Structure 1
């Protein structure tokens, strides 16, 4: 794998859409994964023997244009790969505003290789919001990331974004399915 922290951040500016407003969603198993309301971490763990979080980078940074419209100050950005039995399946990018960064019961900056999903779906103070979806073109930064992971990008990548409410504020989690995941998901 050629993935290094030197390349962080990998995120790219993209328009997200409500699933009802996007012209076409994948018409295969991936659609179910994109729209599933439960924990993606839990679902991924049921499809492997060894689940691993590889941290690509995390730091206080200014979000991309239109990525977090209500914030014009730096936010904690964390980018990881969710790997199943050694194969990266999902690229995840989280944005956490500073006002909730160090809440007493949620230590977002000290997750290390622990999955964020476990924290988000186990805390009674965090409420998941609606899901938005996006299609990533084969010439973008995330396609280049997939290629650097030795995953051939033959078609657009799909991802989902979700807001999580905590203490009258929101954090954002984006999850993009890499080609290896799409291939396996469509054969489940």
Structure 2
């Protein structure tokens, strides 16, 4: 496959076609694959890369209808309501990654996980520190520019996602690598 890996759906914005490493052909260059398909904590990797100058800046948190691709990944019906958290993961004050995490209202109720209380703490760190969470398979795509904050809106940016599950709770975490990040590591996506 090539191009933007987008598949149209009913609506004004194209929905991405998320692909695993086995489905993605051709693969991006090795340096890019190392970040897209690495299963370690991205928070820990970014903290090391920034030599401790890592921070999380919340952009949006609240209840809203989840997108169709998110509902499909979580195995719930279309138009399901969920908690949405959008943040920048920053290194040295620069936005390196845009992250969007979602979980359905039904799954969150009674789960003991209160995403509204995270503030500027990393959700990834929480998920990786709780051994009850299991990480699903990583998938990647060229993330739709329309789904990014206006100040970083750009087409053909690599995004990745995976679902973290604990009993009936599923948290879908999407991370989009911004141009500043690739400049820091010296890779051309």
TM band (smaller chain): 0.7 to 0.9
Query: Relative to structure 1, is the Cα distance of residues 186 and 25 closer, same or farther in structure 2, using a 3 angstrom cutoff?
Result: farther
Contact 2:142 2:156 in 1 (8 A): yes
Match of 1:87 in 2: 94
SS at match of 2:176: strand
Between 1:76-85 and 1:165-174, the stretch displaced more is 165-174
Query: Which position in structure 1 is the counterpart of 2:32?
Result: 30
Normalising by structure 1, we get a TM-score of 0.81
Match in the other structure for 1:170: 170
Say whether 1:56 aligns with 2:63. no
Q: After TM superposition, where is structure 1 displaced by more than 6 Å over at least 4 residues in a row?
A: none
How many residue pairs get aligned? The number is: 170
Residues 63/77 of structure 1: CA separation in 2 closer, same or farther (3 Å cut): same
Give the alignment's Cα RMSD to 1 decimal. Answer: 2.2
The residue number in structure 2 matching 1:183 is: 183
Q: Contact 2:103/2:172 (CA < 8 Å) preserved in 1?
A: yes
How far 1:105 moved relative to its partner?
Answer: 4.4
- Deviation digits for residues 128-173 of structure 1, max 9, x if unmatched? 1110011136x544384415xxxxx5x7210110011111332100
Once residues 183 and 145 of structure 1 are traced to their aligned partners in structure 2, the CA distance between those partners, rounded to angstroms, is 17
Structure 2 portions without partners, runs of 5+: 1-12
Residue of structure 2 in register with 1:112 after alignment: 119
5+ residue gaps in structure 1? 1-10, 148-152
Q: Does 1:99 align with 2:102?
A: no
8 A Cα contact 1:12 1:64, kept in partner: no
